[in-house]
Structure 1
Amino acid sequence: MKRGLRTIDLTLASMFVALMAVGANITSFVPFMIIGGVPITLQTFFAILAGAVLGSRLGAITLCVYAFAGLAGAPIFAKFGGGFASLLNPTFGFILSFIITAYVTGKIVEKKRSIPVYIAAAILGMVINYVFGTNWMYLAYKLWFTAPEGFTYQMAWLWMAVPLPKDILLAVFAGLMAHRLEHRVIARSQFRKINRAA
């Protein structure tokens, strides 16, 4: 039988929502980290970490809360953005992809909690984020948003090539970090005992 969210679930989910907000707005302190219309953020890293640490269910719920909070007007998207109008933003697809990223990453590591599995899950989560977000961005520019002059599908992926090395490294780091947290902290905590009993 499915259990409801407990206090510890809500606490951890809130922590990751806050981390997503911080990761989204690193460009506020480093403004040159915007390529094309795409801010270079730490959101992918935290979305992967949320799935790997919290698991598929709670990780996805957490990223849904992040998305809905931003749409409700909280300034937690990139460049302190928020509000329902964010749906029309070409980069909103990346926000939606974080939910899938967390779910898939969590689902994979739930099967086997080894270092190679954590790293593979993190890399796959990053790929999902890039494929979903970049294709959404391309369609947005073609269908409802004013595209830069000469904008093409290849240009969209060229923009994404800039943060790609950073995100690959951070995905691997997220996998290693989540594995370490699992074996040093989470596996011995009340959080994991509750989840195993549920």
Structure 2
Amino acid sequence: MEPVTTKNESPYTFKPNEFPLFEFQVLAKATDHFFLTETSWDKAGLGKLPEGQEIAVKRLSRASRQGLEELMNEVVVFSKLQHRNLVRVLGCCIEGEERLLVYEYMPNKSLDAYLFDPSKQKILDWKTRFNIMEGISRGLLYLHRDSSPKIIHRDLKASNILLDDNLNPKISDFGLARVFEANEDAAETRRVVGTYGYMSPEYAMEGYFS
């Protein structure tokens, strides 16, 4: 992963007053300790904060160094982004060896649950499918052109598209994202990351992305 940096700053720098920090015990109680049994980076525990807000908590395995870098990358990226088609991160917990991200709760889970489940596919009529495609496109347009800094996701796939109450899509999981400077439009890397089958050919074969 190529970490987020800015001139004269170390990687993973963010301002706590711009990105709320949660206490570990608060999140443990909110999720009834559900996430404490999870070790995979892509697992999340559902819970409710004391004021009643529903949340999803993603916990990093203590054994995963790469996951730590991905979490800090995601913290920095999300602290700079606001768009209706991007999942909202409410804060994080960095306490001792614990590393957690706190997301807004998305009741309809991810898009792949509908695409690959025959019983749910019928819910996705043409109008709903078009709305999902349009929402994903709007989110990508914001990331590639209108956000500051510009962001390349690098792992866009159905399981990283979350759906709200009305099946509106929100792009999630920015752990592998790459930040572009204002004058950058493309880059090359020798370390290709992401999910094969969802990559563009030029990125999968040559490490070129734009």
TM-score bin, normalised by smaller chain: under 0.3
Q: What is the TM-score when the length of structure 2 is the normalising length?
A: 0.25
Which structure is higher in strand share?
2
Which structure is higher in helix share?
1
Q: What is the TM-score when the length of structure 1 is the normalising length?
A: 0.26
